[in-house]
Every structure is written in structure tokens, then in C-alpha cells.
Chains A and B, each alone.
Chain A
Amino acid sequence: MSFRKRGEIIGGNPNRVPGATSNAIPGRTPVPVIPGRENPLMGRSAGITPTRSPITRASPATQDTTNLIMKNPGVRPSVITSQPTISTGTADLDKILLHQGLPIGHSLLVEESGTTDFASVLIRAFASQGIMHNRITNDVNCHVIVVGLSPQWSSDLPGLYKGSSREQKKARIKEQESKVSVTNLAQASSGPNVRAAAPDLKIAWRYGLNKKPEEESNGSDSTATYEHYNHQFDLTQKLTPGPNAQDISYIPIVNNYAQIVQQVSAIVKNQVKSNPGKILRVVIPGILNPSIYPPATASPTFIFPLVHALRGLLRQYSSNLSVIASLALDLYPRDSNVTGLFENVFDSVIHLQPFNQEMSQLIEKAYKNEPSKIQQGLVNIIKVPVLSEKGLMMIHDGEYAFKNGRKKFEIEEWGIPVEDDGKDEKDAQTTKNIDF
């Protein structure tokens, strides 16, 4: 009598590839998983579409540019469309854009209601992320173009998050220990210290505790493949060393939109000429903010042609250029035609809607024991790159909330907090006289 494993089908093909389904076509091997892709067939329906498009190959020049771009450490393929994508500098924003970032050649508009300026956190992180990609090696991988603001703006760019104070302390101790000194050498050579960790592991190996680091490294395959793709920024830290002329350029606002477009175009052309694999991030903080833009620029014959021409540049340099902009909705509400046009022209739009005072108080009350859970407002998604343009309904109102902390700008699913008004405690107390 022979025994078979539980999962094995009796009479099945002995040459069958493990993991293949029972109705698999013989001779076909499963689709190999491409490293870095979470799901190789994500976004595809189970059935094959009746009309498959004929295979058309990209021209060699386009392929060369794409290959060069994909070598840039700040670029990864989109998880939906496989287009080259860059990080916005905010990991959670990358997630809600669904591509794991902003596809190159596309734009993002951050709208904000109220008098707060959370949008600037996202805009600065976008710029910092680009500059951080120039700090990886000696290559200049990215160039940031700031429209409308002076070099002073870049002095407030956030620096890298180095961990909590405890983690920073540990890192400092580790650094000290790694230095060659008489004390460290003496400690290293003494026997008990060397074997100090071993006794713990003698017991731990049974429970697989010492396997943990290996598993972790396998699980974060995507992160390991694109390790420099995005960074975490600390709002209280400044980016050091600060951006230099190779990293960033500034374009002032003038009364002629064509001059602005021409300047952006000239910079992009020069940068791409010097390195065709370079990413250019155009940053436009506070569009039409009266403190930056002169009154004449609010005219429809200035601002509409400007944003339309920038969209034209984006499509012209679709392998190198991306744009992010912010707009205060208190100045131009969503009902106005200015905002309507911006929403039409930009490829992706999100709306930050900070909570009003009553809601903030309710949340603070609900999370009084867990202050880290307090959210500051809603994130409404209006447009998502590529998908909205294809005709998918991507408007998500009131489904996500944001909280801005020192270590990062978090976006999570929104749920109304349960108000604990202490009634249970009152009910628990008996009102009857229990004296016998």
C-alpha cells in the first residue's frame, strides 16, 4: 500500500507543475512572478477580451528612453499600468493614487479647504523626495523646478526621518561601537560578550524566532527592489545638505504666461539633454494665491492658457516631467470655473478637507487615550491618473482621512469615531441602597 500526500490528486499527471490548476493547459507553465510586482495580472479580468489588440512595438528611441528612465533609482513601474512612476514623497499618498506613486508625464493638484496649509506638507515632501534621489550616488537623477517662489522656499524643505529618539540613541551607540577603539576591541575579544546572544537563541530556535529577519526580508521584496524609491520625511528637520543649483531652479511669475512656459520648457530641454534619464519635478505651490500672483494673473486669458500649456509640456516630455500644484479652495471654491478647469486639466486631483471645530473636538474626545489616532481632516479623491481619463469613476468622497505628524503625513480609511460619553460608567454604578 502506498500513501499519497493529502493535496495530491489521484491519477493526476505526475509531471504536473505544483501549484497549477486542474484545468491548466498541458505544457503551459505558470506565469512567472516578476520581482517588484505585487500581482502580475492585477487589473485584468479572468476572461480574455474578445478583441485583442494587435501587438505594436514601441520605436527603439522610445524604448531606449524608457530603459534609461527605469534605471533611475527614483522610478518604479506602476502596479496598475506598468508605466514609469515616481513617488510623491508621501507613502500613503502614493497608495491612494493607486499606481504606487504619480506616473511620469502626469500632474497632481492638491486642493485644500479652510485656512490651514496641509497641502504645503505634501508639496514640500514631493520636492524633498526628488532632491533625496540626488543624494544616493554622485549622479544627478532629478531636478526640481519651483514656479512662483523664491529660493527661500527651499530652506524649509523637510529632512529625512531618522527614527524615534530611542532608535536614534541606539544608532548612535552602534556607531560608537563600530569605531576602532581600545575599549571596543577589548570588549569584542572577551568571550562572554561574544556569546551573550547565543544562549537566548538556543531556546528561541525551537519557536522559529531566529527565522524572523529572513522572513521579513522575503516579504518586503518590492521594497528591497526599489529601496531608494521613496523616503520618510521629518517635518521638524531641515533637508541637509540643502538643495544646490543642480538640484533646483526657480521661475518667477511674470505677467506673460508664455514666458513662464518658455522658461520651464528651456530648463526641461537642457536637463533632458544632459541626462535623458533624469526626472523633472515641477512644483507650483499656492496657484493664484494673491501673495505670490499679481492681480492680472487671475484673468482667464492668463491662468487657463498657463495650465493648458503646462499640460502640453507634460505630454511632450512624458518620460521625464511631472507636475504638482496646490490650490486654496477658500479663494477659488470648487463651484468656481477656475477650479473646474483645473480639475479638468490636471490628471489627478485630491481635496484636503480639514475637520471643523466640532468634529475635531469629537475626535479628540473619542481618542482621548490614544492621541496618535486623532485625524485632522478628510482626503477626497477626485481624479486618479490614467484611470479617470479612461472613463473610470474614481471620485471617493469622505472615504479617507489624514493626520499630519512629525514623522509623516498619514492617510488612512476614515471611520466615524465612537463617542464614549461615560454613560457605561454611570450605569455600572448601582443607584440602589445595598446596605443590608
Chain B
Amino acid sequence: MSSNQPQQDLIFFTDNSLIPSDVLSSQASYLSIITHVQGTSPTWLINSLIETALMGTASVVNSDLKRIPKRSNVLVASFSHPHEFYVRNCKKNGLDLSSNPQFEFVDCFSTLFTELVSKPSDAKRDVDALFDKIVKRVTNPNMAVFIEAPETLLYATNISSSDLLFNLTKINKNCRQLYVISSKDYPQYVDFDTTNPQDVSFKTTDFLVKLHHRSSLNITLEPLSTGRAKDITGSITISRGSIPYETVKVNEREYIYHVTKDSNVKLYFR
């Protein structure tokens, strides 16, 4: 399949961009959601978005984007990976995050349940304090913020989906563009049949549904429904969220993509 079709550049908006400059300089705050399932980890996409936010280019997925020096600041808060993971993987994108002054990282992973949230059965205060710490780091209003796997707090602590959404909104109000990266494996996490509010599946389903009501751009990564293919990793769907962007328009589209062992990405229209 991949040999017959021409390779495409990944774009999210009708102005052929991934993060428009209008969005980063606007007064409004936007939320985008990146959801994925087992087998389609979005590492390559997050790295490309970090690159776009920092310097305008996205060398792995879009060769047309032009370099804009010191475009915006980026803050990543991850609940599933340490700082070294981003530093190592972003080298492919030509970024040295260990020495980039525009890049900030909040480690919500290494000592999450040993120091930051020491009592998961009564965690509301600790979780609020953790998010306050992230909000304090959002110093530049033109910042793009990435929060990876915040749903971990829903699985492992007693906080409700509303508590988590409240904290994410706090961050979003302080930055121009917030990306929430979450897994949506069905039926492990997303299960519309559960009715018990204490159930982990109930909490994560509720969280994702409510989050989608606030978003402006939704990106979904899934494996092929037809089964495994050697030259295709999965599909990426770009769709509008419920709150529209003021100045730009989302280019709704579906691609199929292939990630190789050396982290090269090829995209094709579906």
C-alpha cells in the first residue's frame, strides 16, 4: 500500500501548520487531546510537536515548515517518563533538550508515589499541590504545555475525574496551548457500561468524555482495524474539538503512518 501512494506531510490546520503562530500569540487558551491505544505510542508525534513549538520545524513529519528561532517556550510534565526519555528521543529531531533554555520539564514520574503523592488513598491535597507546582512553572504566556498520562492519578489515587479536570483547566488558563496525552484503551480504561463511580474505568471514561467537551483539536492514534501490517503502524485521525479556534481552522483528515526502527515516520492519506 505504502509503495503506491505518495508520502504526505502531517498538517493539523488549513494554513498547513501543526501549531499556528496565531494560536501561540493569541489571548485565548486552547486545549488539544492526543489519545492512543496499545501498540501506537505517540512519542514520535509529541517529539515533533515539541520541535514545532520550539523552532517551527517538524523535520520528521513535515519538510515544508520553516524554522522560526525562539518561537515559544515548551513545558512538559510527564507521569510516565523521566526527563532523559525526552532528551534521548528528541535528538532525532535535531533538538538538544538538555541544554535548551526554552524547554522545561516537570518530573511527575520518578518519585510520584514515593514523594509527591505519598498517600494515594487520600491524595487530593497532594495532587493539587503537584499541579500548583506545574502552574508556577508556566511563566511565559506564549507557552505550549504537554501533560503526559495524567490519567495515572485516576487509576492510582482516590481523586475524581472532576478534580483532575479542574487542575488541568488551571494550567490551560495560564498557557496558550495545552496538549493532554492520554491512553484510551477499550475496554480497560474506556468503558461506557460501568456505573460504579469508584471504578477506575468509570473515572477514566468520565475524564475523557468531559475533556473532549473542552478541546479544540483531537488527535487519535490507533492500529489498523484490519489487523497487523508490516509496512503500516496505524492510523492518525485529526478532528475538530467542541470549541473552535478563533483565527484558524482545523484540517480534518485521516492518515495512515509507519514508524520505522530508526524512528523515521512516513504518512499517507487514507
Asked if A315 CB lies within 8 Å of chain B CBs, one says yes
Interface size class of A (residues with CB under 8 A): 35 or more
Q: How many A-B residue pairs have CB under 8 A?
A: 142
Q: Could you give, for residues 117-145 of chain B, a 1 whenever the CB lies within 8 Å of some chain A CB and a 0 otherwise?
A: 11011000000000000000000000000
Given A389-B41, A392-B259, A393-B223; A300-B155 close (CB under 8 Å): yes
- Rounded to whole Å, the gap between the CB of A212 and the closest CB of chain B is 36
Partner-contacting stretch, out of A13-21, A43-51, A186-194: A43-51
Q: Could you give, for residues 59-91 of chain A, a 1 whenever the CB lies within 8 Å of some chain B CB and a 0 otherwise?
A: 000000000000000000000100000000000
Which of B42, B85, B260 is in CB contact (< 8 Å) with A45? Answer: B260
- Rounded to whole Å, the gap between the CB of A307 and the closest CB of chain B is 9
Given A54-B94, A54-B96, A391-B42; A308-B156 close (CB under 8 Å): yes
Given A261-B114, A312-B112; A50-B41 close (CB under 8 Å): no
Q: How far is the CA of A300 from the CA of B154 in the complex (A)?
A: 9
Q: Could you give, for residues 257-271 of chain A, a 1 whenever the CB lies within 8 Å of some chain B CB and a 0 otherwise?
A: 110011000000000
- Rounded to whole Å, the gap between the CB of B123 and the closest CB of chain A is 8
Interface size class of B (residues with CB under 8 A): 35 or more
Which of A54, A315, A337 is in CB contact (< 8 Å) with B155? Answer: A337
Contacts of A395 in B (CB 8 A): 38-39, 223, 228
Contacts of A339 in B (CB 8 A): 188
Say yes or no: B39 contacts A341, CB within 8 Å: no
Which of A43, A312, A334, A382 is in CB contact (< 8 Å) with B111? Answer: A312
Asked if B70 CB lies within 8 Å of chain A CBs, one says no
Q: Could you give, for residues 181-217 of chain B, a 1 whenever the CB lies within 8 Å of some chain A CB and a 0 otherwise?
A: 0010101110000000000110010000000000000
Say yes or no: A344 contacts B259, CB within 8 Å: no
Partner-contacting stretch, out of B3-11, B161-169, B241-249, B261-269: B261-269
Say yes or no: B261 contacts A80, CB within 8 Å: yes
Contacts of B233 in A (CB 8 A): 391-393
In chain B, positions 16-61 with a C-beta closer than 8 Å to chain A are: 38-45, 59-60
The residue among A312, A387, A393, A394 with the most chain B CB atoms within 10 A of its own CB is: A393
Which of A309, A344, A383 is in CB contact (< 8 Å) with B183? Answer: A344
- Rounded to whole Å, the gap between the CB of A398 and the closest CB of chain B is 10
- Rounded to whole Å, the gap between the CB of A251 and the closest CB of chain B is 15
Report A's interface with B, CB cutoff 8 A.
43-45, 49-54, 56, 80, 257-258, 261-262, 299-302, 304-306, 308-309, 311-312, 315-316, 318, 334-337, 339-341, 343-345, 382-383, 387-397
User: 15 interchain pairs (CB within 8 A)?
Assistant: A49-B264, A51-B60, A53-B94, A54-B96, A257-B113, A302-B120, A304-B152, A305-B112, A305-B113, A312-B112, A315-B81, A315-B82, A390-B44, A390-B89, A393-B234
